[in-house]
Amino acid sequence: MLLEEVLAWLNPKSGGTYVDCTVGGGGHAAAILESSSPDGRLIGLDQDPHALEAAARRLAPYGERVTLVRENFINLPRVLAELGLPAVDGILFDLGVSSPQLDVPERGFSYHQEGPLDMRMDPTMHCTAADLVNNLGEEELAGIIARYGEERWARRIASFIVRKRQHQPITTTSQLVEIIKEAIPAKSRRSGLHPARRTFQALRIAVNRELEVLPEALRQAANLLLPGGRILVITFHSLEDRIVKNLFRHLANPCVCPPGFPRCVCGQKPVLRVLAPGGVVPSEREVNLNPRSRSARLRVAEKLRPVLNAAGGE
């Protein structure tokens, strides 16, 4: 997704080291390795072991130029430290759920297919979507659906879920879809996207703590870039896009002096320079070929300087 745009903005070069923080099936990673041949290096992270297996098969021809690590991107500093890499030339985040995860019913991400109500990107995690749906109180459940799904019918959906689970546990995607359809008034169901889309998004985000770890992961990634290196983030909904946009904006203008000061006295210096401030969206051609790309947006920033710690070191 947004492959040409990623390559254009990341601008991989031979000899460079790049990190794909969500390597998935290895599509972006393979293109980065091709563009940085003959000796560019790629570090690929993913918390999904099935994704890493697929990436390993796809990237096998690149041999020792590739290092794959099963890890959540919040732990990128430790991963790079263990590899002896103090900084890298570029970092890519492709957020959200991947097509292979959606297309496997057993993973429980899809509201179009029957499967267990799971939604864990890392299958070793203890909490599933079924655990949330069957155990949370009505208010907390409504809050998750409203906050992470931006669903106007969140309270009604939570009320219907609590009522239904009193008779039998909600354990499958199709059960939850039917409850959501019952909860949302018919007029609202007939307009817009699939009625379960927002609730499924909210549960997935909550299960995987996606928005909780994102701000700190982006800050850490900015610290790990070489001057001139670029950080790229592909988002798929307004919540995560807002986090990326605001954090990039803050790192590009961290001054906390009151408005009207003749000059900055707080000592906060810009870390990043935002490129393509409005973000980059897929071409009409890509959307036609891959409708799932319609909500994607690419945000890009470039490292200006090393970040200094309190002792004055990098």
Residues annotated within the binding site are 26-28, 46, 73, 94, 101
Where is the binding site for S-adenosyl-L-methionine, in residues?
26-28, 46, 73, 94, 101
- Which amino acid would we find at residue 219? R
88-94 and 17-20 beta bridge pairing: parallel
Number of CB atoms found within 10 A of residue 5's CB: 20
Exposure string over 51-87, b if 16+ CB within 10 A, otherwise e? bbebbeebbeebeebbbbbebbbbbbeebbeeeeeee
Q: How far apart are CA 109 and CA 146, in angstroms?
A: 18
CA 290 to chain centre: 19
Number of helices (H), then strands (E), in the chain: 14, 7
Strand blocks (E) in 144-286: 225-235, 272-280
- What letters, b where the CB count within 10 A reaches 16 and e where it falls short, cover 119-146? bbbeeeeeebbbebbbebeeeebbbbbb
**Backbone dihedral region for residue 150 (phi beyond 0: left; psi -120 to 50: alpha; all else: beta):** left
